[in-house]
Chain A
Amino acid sequence: GESVGLHLPTLSVQEGDNSIINCAYSNSASDYFIWYKQESGKGPQFIIDIRSNMDKRQGQRVTVLLNKTVKHLSLQIAATQPGDSAVYFCAENPQAGTALIFGKGTTLSVSS
Chain B
Amino acid sequence: EPEVTQTPSHQVTQMGQEVILRCVPISNHLYFYWYRQILGQKVEFLVSFYNNEISEKSEIFDDQFSVERPDGSNFTLKIRSTKLEDSAMYFCASRGRSNQPQHFGDGTRLSIL
Interface residues of A (CB under 8 A from B): 32, 34, 36, 41-46, 49, 89, 91, 96-105
**B31 is an interface residue with CB less than 8 A from chain A:** yes
Most chain B beta-carbon neighbours within 10 Å: one of A44, A102, A103: A44
Report the Cα distance A103→B6, complex, angstroms. 23
* Beta-carbon nearest neighbor of B46 in chain A: A99
B6 — which chain A residues lie within 8 A by C-beta?
A: 43
Taking a contact as CB atoms under 8 Å apart, the answer to whether A100 and B99 are in contact is no
B25 adjacent to chain A (CB < 8 Å): no
B103/A46 in contact, CB under 8 A: yes
Q: Which residues of the other chain, B, contact A32 by a CB distance below 8 angstroms?
A: 99
Distance, CA A61 to CA B52, complexed state (A): 39
**CB < 8 Å: which of A89, A97, A99, A104 contacts B45?**
A99
Contact B101 A49 (CB under 8 A): yes
Instruction: Give Cα distance in the complex from A96 to B56, angstroms.
Output: 12
In Å, the complex CA distance between A97 and B45 comes to: 13
| B86 part of interface (Cβ distance < 8 Å) | no
Residues of B25-54 contacting chain A, CB below 8 A: 31, 33, 35, 41-45, 48, 50
Q: B42 and A104: CB pair below 8 A?
A: yes
Interface centre among B41, B93, B99, B104, by most chain A C-beta atoms within 10 angstroms, is B104
Separation of A36 and B99 alpha carbons in the complex (Å): 16
Q: How far is the CA of A45 from the CA of B101 in the complex (A)?
A: 10
**Given pairs A42-B106, A89-B43, A99-B48, 5 additional interface contacts (CB within 8 A):** A42-B107, A43-B105, A43-B107, A44-B104, A102-B43
Q: Say which residue of A96, A97, A99, A102 sits within 8 Å of B42 (CB atoms).
A: A102
Q: Are A101 and B45 in contact (CB under 8 A)?
A: yes
Partner of A44, one of B41, B43, B44, B99: B43
B70 to chain A minimum Cβ distance, whole angstroms, is: 22
A sample of 15 inter-chain contacts (CB < 8 A) reads A41-B106, A42-B106, A43-B6, A44-B104, A45-B104, A46-B101, A46-B104, A49-B101, A96-B99, A100-B33, A100-B102, A101-B45, A102-B42, A104-B41, A104-B42
